A and B are shown apart, each in its own frame.
Chain A
Amino acid sequence: MLGIGWALRRVIRSSEDFFLSGRSIPAWIAGLAFISANLGAQEVIGMAASGAKYGIMTSHFYWVGAMPAMVFVGLFMMPFYYGSRARSVPEYLKLRFDEKTRGLNAITFAIMTIFSSGISMYALAKLLELVLGWSFHGSIVVSAVIVLIYIFLGGLTSAIYNEVLQFFLIVLGFLPLVLLGLKDVGGWSGLTSKLAVVATNAGFEPGAWSHSWKYMDSPSHNPMGMEWFGLVMGLGFALSFGYWCTDFLVVQRAMAAGSMTAARRTPLIAAIPKMLMPALVILPGMLAIGLHASRGGFLPIGDDGQPNYNLAIPMMLAHYLPSGLLGLGLTALMASFMSGMAGNVTAFNSVWTYDIYQTHIRPGQTDQHYLRVGHAATVFGILASVLAAYSATRFNNILDMLQLVFSFVNGPLFATFLLGMFWRRTTGHGAFYGLLTGTITAALHYGLTLPRGSVPGIKGGFLGAVLHTYPSEMALNFWTALFAWTGCFVATLLISLFTKRTKTDDELRGLVYSLTPRVQEGHMAWYKRPVTLAVGILVVSTLLNVIFW
């Protein structure tokens, strides 16, 4: 079964080249590729892990975080990206500000891709460990070799095509798992009664795992340790908008659409299946912790006595699916791990080679030279990912670690983008030193605080003094992102006011909102306009929040 998936993917690859030529991909394909670029192993494993660790509050990543952010990207950000034809975030920053802002962002982005691919590598190694019984160290080496071969065989040349395929593979591979788990636990009411046990054992009200908003009046009332303000601002605003607006792995999918309207519609179309994704990725985690509490054996216990939430999905797969369907589920997982790692290593390669090496270290070399540098960067990227994979072993939920990385990179970057796009007075110096301030603020906050029950080190508190203890890793991430965003925003604003503009209005055309021609959609029927779709999405996600209140 594994073989069939791979064989088919190879056959399909050959037809990809002319498929991608030109911007003429139908909107629904671009839309599915848009969320598929984000539906990697990190999402599948990480959201399930969070579903087990934090309960249904994890859905805030979707209904508070992703939905408004994706609507914002579609309505406000796509016109800039599509109009300026920037191919990456560093490229946009160079056009809008200057070379040094681009360089700084390229460095933080490169670090982010290494951590992202390392987290996927850790997840793949854990899967191999569990299914094949190999040692973790051996599994890491095998994973690294597999990715290396995959990239050198041209694994990512057919991105969009494979992503649509992979989207269906993941959905159809995991759906039977969710259905079986739900039937086993006795439906939604059976699940809530089991989760009540989980919540009371952890010292919360019985509904703490099955209500998304009800216990958010105080950090001490819910497993995530957040109150509504920090969640809405930290996750809903800084992290989510930061991620969806600036992650070009995702945004590039929309740029492949045929027209400006289609490009704007892409994130909106993507938001529809995205809205339902919690049923597929968070629910299995909630099922795993509920069943674990009543029967045991659904989550392995780590060295620190805490369950390793990362293994919720692999354990559920092994528990419910017989051989045959198990193959399909594992193929879906493997496919998402591969694309997660390969996508990030390839992004690292291109950022290092073009945005750092060619621009700042050795410009003006031959193409062959840069190609060799690119190959070396790929190998280096994979080796660095191995280190990141080992640091991921310290987290019992990879989403905790992933959002920590995002809070350093995307949090401050979103402030830079917001000011750069909507305030033409923002200067290059302002952007550069603002971004630097934001990243340093994140580091200070992270170095001076600690999640409860952790030792100072990779989880924070390494600067000697611990000024504040957060109830959970995720709470620390949300606040780190919010501090970083604020630091960057204030610094950029102040420095811009005291420095001279280097770019004229003419140079900023298409890069700043007030200097970009408005999209004319008055001639379209009202129900075809992106705005209508956007309002519909926001209404439905509000309803979902109310239903699972």
Chain B
Amino acid sequence: MRLDVRWPIGGMFSLIGILLTIYGMVSNPALYERSLGINVNLWWGLALLVFGLVMLWFAYRAQRAGPAGPAGPAGPKLP
């Protein structure tokens, strides 16, 4: 079995997303003066979380569809 690269990508971005979102919720709003008053930590954190979860979902779906294994055809499986 080889590890689908989407697992670590999904995991990493979900984690970063969660941390950023939490930081965005608890941080001082004065921090966001430089980012044009937008709480970018919160919003981009959520965006990264969604991206991470979508990656994880693709990885999960690919795994459930059956382990193609290293011998499987390297088809154009675009996510």
Contacts and interface: CB of A to CB of B under 8 A. Distances in A.
Given A4-B15, A172-B48, A184-B36, A323 B31 contact: yes
Interface of A: 1, 4-5, 8, 11-12, 15, 18-19, 21-22, 24-29, 161, 164-165, 168, 172, 176, 180, 183-184, 257-259, 262, 265, 269, 319-325, 328, 528
Contact of A29 (B5, B12, B31, B35): B5
Given A1-B16, A26-B77, 10 more contacts: A8-B11, A18-B2, A19-B2, A28-B79, A262-B76, A321-B34, A321-B35, A322-B32, A324-B27, A324-B31
Interface in B19-59: 19-20, 23-24, 27, 31-32, 34-36, 38, 40-41, 44, 48, 51
Contacts of B35: 180, 320-322, 325
A5 B38 CA distance: 25
B29 to A, nearest CB: 10
B74 A176 contact: no
Interface string B61-79: 0000000001111111111
Contacts of A25: 74
A257 B74 contact: yes
Contacts of A257: 74
A258 B74 contact: yes
A1 B16 CA distance: 8
A8 B34 contact: no
Contacts of A259: 73-74
B79 A322 contact: no
Contacts of B8: 8, 11-12, 15, 161, 165
Contacts of A172: 13, 48, 51
Contacts of A328: 16, 20, 44
Contacts of A176: 40, 44
A161 B7 CA distance: 11
A66 to B, nearest CB: 20
Q: Sorted from nearest, which 4 A-B pairs have the closest CB atoms?
A: A258-B74, A324-B41, A322-B31, A262-B74
Contact of A28 (B9, B70, B72, B76): B76
> Which of A161, A168, A265 is packed against the most chain B CB atoms within 10 Å?
A168
B44 A19 contact: no
A216 to B, nearest CB: 35
A319 B40 CA distance: 13
B25 to A, nearest CB: 11
A356 to B, nearest CB: 35
B74 A27 contact: yes
Given A4-B16, A12-B8, A184-B36, A269 B76 contact: yes
B79 to A, nearest CB: 7
A286 B72 CA distance: 45
Contacts of B79: 28
A96 B5 CA distance: 36
Contact of B3 (A1, A19, A27): A19
Given A28-B76, A259-B74, A4 B19 contact: yes
A18 B51 CA distance: 26
A325 B20 contact: yes
Given A1-B19, A168-B13, A180-B36, A24 B71 contact: yes
Given A168-B13, A325-B41, A28 B78 contact: yes
Nearest to A263: B74
20 contacts: A1-B19, A4-B15, A4-B16, A27-B77, A28-B77, A28-B78, A29-B5, A165-B5, A165-B12, A172-B13, A176-B44, A180-B35, A262-B74, A262-B76, A320-B35, A323-B27, A325-B20, A325-B40, A325-B44, A528-B76
